[in-house]
């Protein structure tokens, strides 16, 4: 069975995959509340003959669908949580009837999970047809947005049996994600004081809000003395109440503390903790540090990244018909940023005399119809819980352009395009690409050894989960 033949298995299941993706798109559930989305994916996996296990790693909405036995064990990662707080989709951009709701798939995760299911299906059929030994597992990973679901799963050893993990993210370009991401730790600092009449008996009060404000101020000063690879952001989630004539007895903020690896993030957290303690001391209040979640920085595996690039380049991207192209152009025209900025690390791998033409080609592409060149590893600024999987086993991921080139991240434009024909076609395209990587691994197990050798070099001490035992995943709010 050649690779193309194996990949084409999924063509007869396109309509079903689209249906599952639409169900997840309609459900649009937030982190760790993805009950309807899980049902849609789980029922479909069962109908396709996968052995499903729910609630894995102690996370209620985490699950796996497995087929085969023995080695190698290849995992495909899927996400399905949505976002809140996005602007509504204007009526003229609604491709499917949908009530305007507070949540939406503004990061394309309705496509993400389903494409990975498609890849697992191709591999199940491949194993059945070839009689080869090995196991494929689809991992339903909840709470990526602000929840670090995969880190909780990794803490419980869910990914330990994997030889390699493969995933993707819907995006604006077609490229292997060679860039890294930051480790982060999220902590809620809860100040408690003593309330009193703010005018009548101010000396009796101990203001929790004062404590919180002084903590925030202390962190502003810390910024001058932390490394360039550090970031700290916060939101005040309890201001202590509405009455200025009461000394506030409670106040709280959620802090997101980031750095380039777990060790540096933990060190930065230690310093933020000290500032919180100092602020409590100054105000005679107390502060409780509620560890919410953390995730590891992402580091893709070069050996697997090369395979991913080759598989992207080997498979022609689905075209976009005229009607859809009008929609793509309309989406682009609605976007705040009209100039497409080509990443410097991409330009760096293009010969100097070809760069101007390449930039022009990118500017003129309404939806990317070519594959970006492979770039070397580079530290990144965001965070993803795929980082924890990448620390457990060799991992690769790519972006496939499922949306118009000027689409901003986390936007209503992504919700709108999540049910477009071109997003659906490219979701299935990516199933084939990811399965292509897995087929390469099944046919050349020596590549797995090579990938593992590189992994061992990057993680000589193995994986240490940054989330302490006992901390449970929870929805925001």
How many CA atoms lie within 13 Å of 430's alpha carbon, on the beta-carbon side?
34
- Match 């049996």 to its residue by tokens: 161
- Looking at the Cβ atoms of 31 and 232, the one nearer to Zn ion is 31
Closer by beta carbon to Zn ion, 72 or else 106: 106
Kindly tell me which of 105 and 206 has the beta carbon lying closer to Zn ion.
105
Name the minimum Å distance from CB 169 to Zn ion. Answer: 6
The least CB distance from residue 363 to Zn ion, in Å, is 25
Cis geometry, peptide bond prior to residue 72 (ω within 30 degrees of 0): yes
CB of 398 vs Zn ion, minimal distance in Å: 14
| Nearest distance, CB of residue 167 and Zn ion, angstroms | 11
When the beta carbons of 107 and 437 are compared against Zn ion, the nearer one is 107
User: Please, what is the minimum distance in Å from the beta carbon of residue 107 to Zn ion?
Assistant: 3
- The 70-109 site mask, x for binding Zn ion (CB under 5 A), equals -------------------------------------x--
Question: Which C-beta is closer to Zn ion: that of 134 or that of 418?
Answer: 418
- Shorter beta-carbon distance to Zn ion: residue 134 or 387: 387
Give the x/- contact pattern for Zn ion in 105-134, rule: CB under 5 A: --x---------------------------
Cα–Cα distance between 264 and 249 in angstroms, integer?
33
Residue in the structure block whose two tokens are 């191709």: 122
Output 33 or 248, the one with its CB closest to Zn ion.
33
Quote the least distance from Cβ 144 to Zn ion, whole Å.
6
* C-alpha to C-alpha distance for 144 and 109, rounded to whole angstroms: 9
Token pair, residue 176, equals: 């292997």
The size of the interface with Zn ion (CB under 5 A), counted in residues, is: 1
DSSP alpha helix (H) spans, 187-334:
208-222, 262-283, 302-314, 322-334
Structure-token pair, residue 221: 């000063």
137 binds Zn ion (CB under 5 A): no
Indicate the SS3 state at residue 383: coil
Smallest gap from Cβ 345 to Zn ion, in A, equals 21
CB of 431 to Zn ion, least distance (A): 18
Reference 385, options 150, 37, 101; nearest CA is 150
Residue among 107 and 374 whose Cβ is closer to Zn ion: 107
Token pair for 318: 């689905």
The closest residue (CB) to Zn ion is 107
Least separation in angstroms between residue 217's CB and Zn ion is 31
Residue by residue, DSSP assigns 45-59 as HHHTT-EEEESGGG-
Give the residue with the Cβ less far from Zn ion, 107 or 428.
107
In angstroms, the CA 165 to CA 162 distance is 7
Q: Which residues neighbour 189 within 8 Å (Cβ) at sequence distance 6 or greater?
A: 212, 215, 252, 253, 254, 255, 276, 287, 288, 289, 290
- How many Cα atoms sit within 13 Å of 34 on the Cβ side? 38
The structure tokens 């004062």 sit at 210
| Site of interaction with Zn ion (CB under 5 A) | 107
């Amino acid at each position: 069975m050649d690779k193309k033949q194996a990949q084409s298995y999924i063509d007869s299941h396109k309509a079903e995959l689209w249906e599952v993706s639409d169900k997840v798109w309609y459900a649009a559930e937030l982190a760790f509340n993805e009950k309807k989305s899980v049902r849609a994916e789980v029922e479909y996996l069962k109908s396709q003959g996968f052995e499903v296990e729910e609630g894995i790693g102690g996370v209620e909405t985490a699950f796996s669908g497995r087929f085969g036995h023995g080695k190698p064990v290849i995992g495909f990662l899927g996400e399905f949580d949505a976002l809140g707080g996005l602007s509504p989709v204007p009526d003229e951009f609604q491709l499917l009837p949908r009530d305007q709701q507070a949540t939406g798939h503004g990061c394309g995760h309705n496509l993400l999970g389903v494409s990975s299911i498609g890849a697992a299906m191709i591999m199940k059929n491949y194993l059945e047809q070839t009689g080869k030994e090995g196991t494929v597992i689809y991992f339903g990973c909840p709470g990526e947005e602000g929840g670090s679901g995969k880190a909780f799963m990794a803490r419980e050893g869910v990914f330990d049996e994997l030889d390699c993990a493969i995933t993707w993210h819907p995006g604006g370009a077609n490229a292997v994600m060679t860039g890294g991401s930051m480790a982060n730790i999220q902590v809620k600092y809860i100040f408690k004081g003593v309330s009193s009449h703010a005018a009548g008996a101010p000396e009796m009060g101990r203001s929790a809000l004062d404590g919180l404000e002084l903590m925030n101020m202390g962190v502003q000063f810390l910024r001058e003395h932390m490394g360039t690879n550090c970031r700290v952001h916060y939101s005040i989630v309890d201001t202590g109440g509405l009455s200025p004539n009461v000394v506030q007895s409670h106040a709280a903020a959620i802090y997101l503390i980031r750095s380039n690896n777990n060790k540096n993030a933990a060190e930065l957290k230690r310093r933020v903790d000290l500032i919180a303690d100092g602020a409590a001391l100054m105000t005679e209040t107390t502060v409780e540090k509620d560890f919410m979640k953390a995730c590891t920085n992402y580091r893709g595996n070069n050996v697997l990244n090369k395979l991913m690039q080759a598989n992207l380049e080997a498979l022609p991207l689905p075209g976009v018909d005229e009607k859809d192209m009008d929609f793509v152009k309309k989406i682009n025209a609605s976007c705040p940023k009209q100039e497409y900025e080509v990443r410097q690390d991409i330009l760096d791998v293009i010969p100097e005399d070809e760069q101007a033409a390449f930039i022009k080609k990118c500017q003129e592409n309404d939806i990317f119809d070519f594959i970006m060149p492979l770039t070397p590893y580079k530290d990144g600024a965001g965070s993803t819980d795929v980082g924890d999987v990448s620390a457990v086993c060799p991992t690769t991921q790519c972006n496939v352009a499922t949306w118009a080139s000027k689409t901003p991240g986390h936007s209503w434009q992504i919700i709108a395009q999540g049910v477009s024909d071109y997003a659906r076609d490219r979701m299935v395209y990516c199933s084939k690409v990811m399965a292509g990587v897995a087929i390469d691994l099944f046919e050349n197990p020596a590549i797995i050894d090579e990938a593992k050798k590189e992994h061992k070099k990057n993680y000589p001490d193995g994986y240490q989960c940054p989330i302490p035992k006992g901390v449970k995943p929870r929805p925001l709010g």
